[in-house]
Each structure stands twice: as C-alpha cells, then as structure tokens.
Amino acid sequence: MKLILFDFDGTLTTEDSFIAFLHFTTTKRQFNLALAKFFLKLVAYKMNLYKGEKLKREILSFFFKGFSEKKLKQLGRIYNTKVIPSIIRKEIMNQLLQFQKEGDKIGVVSASLDIWLKPFCNDLKIDCICTEMEFIDKKYTGQFSTPNCNFEQKSIRVQHFYNLEDYDEVIVYGNSKGDRSLFELADRKVKV
C-alpha cells in the first residue's frame, strides 16, 4: 500500500484558504482595517523578517479571539461547503480520488486550520494533519493548540502520525518551500 500526502494551499487549492476564509467571515471594512493594522508586519513577513506563524496567530486573534468554539467550527463547516469547492484544483483532486479508489492511504498535511480542513478531510474519509486552534472553556484563546503545521513541523507531525515503514511507497504532492521537509520523506515528489 502507498501513502499519499497532499499539501492543501496551492496544491489541492488554487489559492490560500486562510485569506479566503478571512474574506468569507469578515466584512470588507473589517478586512481592510486588518490590512492597515498588519501592513508593516505583512511587508516584513514577505521579506522573511517576521515569522508567518506569529503573524497568523495575531491576525486570527484580532478577528476571532473570544469567539465560541461552536461558532468557529460552524463557520469552518459552512466555509468548507460554500467556498472550498470553488478553489479546489480539479486535476489534483482527481488524482487524490484515483489513489483513494486504488486503496492507498491518503493524508492532507497543511498549515491550514482544523475548523475547515477537518470537515474537508472527514467528507473524503482521509487523514488530516493541520494547525489546530486552541479553545479553553469553549472560547478561542487567540493561540494554537499545536505548532503551525508548516516547514519542519510537517515532517515531524507526519512521522508521529504514520509509521512510514508500513508503506511500500510514500508520494508527496506540494508546491512551496513550506513543503520541503515533507518532500524529504517522499520516495516520489510531485511539485504542483
């Protein structure tokens, strides 16, 4: 049996699902206000001077800290149903479905958030390794309960989730430098 691992943003999707989620859940005014507030940090991030994980936490906290777990998970499910299908890269999804038909083990490994990625993976009956939001007393804290699942975290989390020796071949689909450590686990790499 083969293990097939897919990155999500830019691999299974045509665009960044985090930005699309913010557009979906906020008004244009709220989104523009956040853009203004975080503009310098966004520039610093693009210049590799500010950590993406920290910026992501700050933006999520700005918009959603204190939201109920029920409300955020509901937003994630609605987003998964209404928006994700429109940004799915059909040819890569067809490849995923073909591997699934052949009986291979499929997983998505992504920095995307659990509130929409878990429903996406559950609908397909595939594994999900992702960044998880932290809820205490059923309220979002503005933090993550897991490290941001990007760069070396992808490899670390995959090796905790799977025994790679159990598979005849490991195939990885990815598209960015954030997938580099995941590619290092692969027998076959597919760059999208």
Of the pLDDT bands very low, low, confident and very high (cuts 50, 70, 90), residue 158 is very high
Q: Which pLDDT band, with edges at 50, 70 and 90, does 169 fall under?
A: very high
| Amino acid letter, 155 | S
Pairing of strands 139-144, 2-6: unpaired
What CATH number does the domain containing 49 carry? Answer: 3.40.50.1000
As a whole number of angstroms, the distance between CA 145 and CA 132 comes to 6
pLDDT of residue 47: 94
Q: What is the pLDDT of residue 122?
A: 98
Query: What would the 3-class secondary structure string for the chain be?
Result: CEEEEECCCCCCECCCHHHHHHHHHCCHHHHHHHHHHHHHHHHHHHCCCCCHHHHHHHHHHHHHCCCEHHHHHHHHHHHHHHCHHHHECHHHHHHHHHHHHCCCEEEEEEEEEHHHHHHHHHHHCCEEEEECEEEECCEEEEEECCCCCCCHHHHHHHHHHCCHHHCCEEEEEECCHHHHHHHCCCCEEEEC
For residue 69 the two structure tokens come to 């777990």
pTM for this entry: 0.94
Q: Residue 159 — very low, low, confident or very high, per pLDDT cuts 50/70/90? A: very high
Could you tell me the CA-to-CA distances from 188 to 11, 50, 73, 170, 173 in Å, in that order? 16, 32, 35, 7, 9
What pLDDT does 118 receive?
Answer: 98
Asked if 161 and 107 count as a contact pair (C-beta separation under 8 A), the reply is yes
What pLDDT score does 143 carry?
Answer: 97
Q: Which residue has the tokens 């975080």?
A: 38
HSE-CB at 190 with a 13 A cutoff on CA atoms is: 16
Cα–Cα dist 23/120, whole Å: 19
- DSSP-assigned beta bridge partners for residue 127: 107
Contact 59, 34 (CB under 8 A): yes
Residue span of the structural domain in which 139 resides: 2-191
> What are the tens digits of pLDDT across the range 1-60?
999 999 999 999 999 999 999 999 999 999 999 999 999 999 999 999 999 999 999 999
Count of domains forming the chain: 1
**What's the pLDDT score for residue 91?**
97
